[in-house]
């Protein structure tokens, strides 16, 4: 970033190469339309090139760029240019999928997602409302911290976590059949283990509450299975690869950014 701010073209190119797939993935999940996502990526990375001198490091580069992309998504949504929500059904995917889902307990980096699993995760995330979807994508897919997500969205951290917990539970419910897990959490006499476990993932449970939950899970197989399925569904979101940026989008971004750089150079006062 510092090198790019000094005007080193290679450094700016490296920033664009690094963040373009992530911005595209976020934009695609929010727009659910490749053309709109491509426009948002171009707008976001053009802002990076044009406003790079204004970046002061108060936030991370990813937080800054996701905030720009999100604002572009909102403007586009207000203009009514988003495609309608997809109505595809998870049940349309082949019935044998559950037997091929890998347990991601060893960590996202060791998890291989099949095309079918990626499709299931995408459909589950798509089914969320926009507020829950952007929180889950930024936190569990892009890996921002809860405070960083709050900064991108302009809301309180506790609001981020509340939306995140609801989104995780909803995604887990849609993935439950493939995870061989109960669709609903255990009922009477059992605590809300899904909400508790989601809060545990954020470090928001006191030690005594954690101990109580562990004691309950040790004797309740239904709650244990529900928590395990939530853990696995979160890990599947975390393991989702960015995916390739379409060549047409990458080419358009490169052309637009280079044109912007040349425009800025022509507008800069000459030395002496």
How far is residue 54's CA from residue 22's CA, in Å, rounded to a whole number? 22
Q: Which domains are seen in the chain, by residue range? A: 1-84+245-272 (1.10.1740.10), 89-241 (1.10.10.10)
Residues 44, 254: contact at Cβ < 8 Å? no
Q: How far apart are the first and last CA of the chain?
A: 27
DSSP secondary structure code for residue 84 in this structure: P
Tens-digit pLDDT profile for residues 78-135: 776 444 444 334 344 333 333 444 444 544 444 444 677 788 888 999 999 999 999 9
Tens-digit pLDDT profile for residues 178-222: 777 666 656 678 888 889 999 999 999 899 999 999 999 999 988
How far is residue 200's CA from residue 103's CA, in Å, rounded to a whole number? 20
Q: What is the mean pLDDT of residues 256-267?
A: 76
Which residues 6+ apart lie within 8 Å of 114 measured at CB?
A: 100
pLDDT at 53: 82
Q: For residues 205-218, b (16+ Cβ closer than 10 Å) or e, as one string?
A: beeeeeeebeebbe
DSSP secondary structure code for residue 139 in this structure: I
pLDDT at 166: 95
Query: What tokens does 119 get?
Result: 């499709």
Q: What is the mean pLDDT of residues 33-38?
A: 88
Which residue from 227, 271, 259 is spatially nearest to 50, judged by alpha carbons?
259
pLDDT at 75: 85
Query: What tokens does 249 get?
Result: 């989008």
More confident residue, 108 or 65: 65
Tens-digit pLDDT profile for residues 123-174: 999 999 999 999 999 999 999 999 999 999 999 999 999 999 999 999 999 9
């Amino acid at each position: 970033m510092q090198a790019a701010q000094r005007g080193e073209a290679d450094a700016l190119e490296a920033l664009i190469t690094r963040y373009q797939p992530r911005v595209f993935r976020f934009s695609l999940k929010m727009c659910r339309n490749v053309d709109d996502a491509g426009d948002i990526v171009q707008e976001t990375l053009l802002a990076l090139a044009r406003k790079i001198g204004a970046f002061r490091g108060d936030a991370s580069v990813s937080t800054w760029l996701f905030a720009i992309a999100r604002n572009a998504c909102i403007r586009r949504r207000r203009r009514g240019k988003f495609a309608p929500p997809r109505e595809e059904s998870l049940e349309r995917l082949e019935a044998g999928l559950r037997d091929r889902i890998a347990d991601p307990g060893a960590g996202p980096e060791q998890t291989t997602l099949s095309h079918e699993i990626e499709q299931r995760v995408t459909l589950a995330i798509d089914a969320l409302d926009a507020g829950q979807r952007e929180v889950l994508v930024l936190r569990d897919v892009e890996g921002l911290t809860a405070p960083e997500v709050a900064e991108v969205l302009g809301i309180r951290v506790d609001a981020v976590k509340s939306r995140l917990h609801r989104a995780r539970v909803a995604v887990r419910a849609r993935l439950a059949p493939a995870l061989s897990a109960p669709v609903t959490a255990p009922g009477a006499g059992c605590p809300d283990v899904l909400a508790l476990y989601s809060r545990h993932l954020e470090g928001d449970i006191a030690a005594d509450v954690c101990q109580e939950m562990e004691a309950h899970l040790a004797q309740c197989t239904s709650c244990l299975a529900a928590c395990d399925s939530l853990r696995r569904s979160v890990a599947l979101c975390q393991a989702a690869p960015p995916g390739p940026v379409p060549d047409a989008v990458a080419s358009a971004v490169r052309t637009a950014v280079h044109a912007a750089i040349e425009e800025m150079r022509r507008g800069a006062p000459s030395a002496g």
